[in-house]
Structure 1
Amino acid sequence: MKRNVRERLRAALGRRSLAALGVLATGLFGLGFGASSCVGEAGLEAYGCPNPAVFTASVSPYLERRCGTLDCHGQPTRPMRIYGQLGLRHPAENNVSGGAATTQLELESNYASVCNLDPAAMQQVVDDLGSTADKLLLVNKARGLERHKGGKIVNEQDPGDLCILGWLGFKDAATVAASCTAAIEPLK
């Protein structure tokens, strides 16, 4: 009787081990297949993003003031990292918070951070000239429609919302600048 129980136990453990090995192999195969099919020859996939000049001149200064503080997106661990004069400074430069003005490298890094937060959706916004901007994680988190540690930071159609949406909607530089300036003023 004891021998029969032992044989059944060994057989059951053998089947479980084979099943676990099969699941592991399938997972590794799927991971390898998925990773190999996502990128081009250079290993990078390019997505579009609205006008970098309008972003760096108007939108980045607003985001630096509103979102780039050291307790928010001015932290190196944040997925959307914002650098600026009053927050986190770029590690490749030797600036301190509150010191020199936001540098070109920091502005370019902010642009890349915002554009790469939701790259496929951002590409759709570029393709449709901003008509789907309200679907972006950037917009929905700011509006409090998606979970956001910082809570709701803009109301629809307020200056901060118009600053971001103006850039995403390819509005002219003067229109975006006016909205962003109005959004920054109460933050000074």
Structure 2
Amino acid sequence: MSDLKRVLLLSGMLLAASSCQDASEPEPAQHKVVGPAGADVTQRPEIPPSRGDVVLEGCCSFAPGDHAVEELFGDFQGWKVSGDSFELVFSYGASLEPAPDLPGSSRTSIDGVRVRSTALKPGTGEIPVLTAVLDASSLDGLEVVDPRLTVFGQCESESGCADARLVLDSLRF
């Protein structure tokens, strides 16, 4: 057999093998919507925000009070609230990983949304102080990953922890 025939035969076999392999692999998750899609798939916030509240579209609102507020940019909606000796970072979207369940966490419901929270203590460092998963609907017939809200927080003093708690207590879905 000539070298040209061997090359053509080998090329054909490789092409056939690669096309079979491609056919057996699952398609990329084109039927799932992830990322900042949470704004499009929920009817939240249901509770109308008050004047001065920060709104995470499709999720919730909270009152930052007189504390500094900064919008964060990425694959999700994010806001940072900074006060005298405390900081909270609100993140919302369908691409967020679940936050760890810390010892001492409690579960409750706010406006019909199940919430897991952990108390802030001075000097603990940044921890997930509040997490929630919002039920998503379908979007043009596509399955939508349920969007998550995660709030990381830290405080350095009892008064800073109390100020952070006031912001967290203002959360409405």
Q: TM bucket by the smaller chain?
A: 0.3 to 0.5
With structure 1 as the length reference, what TM-score do the two structures score? 0.37
Q: Which has the higher helix share?
A: 1
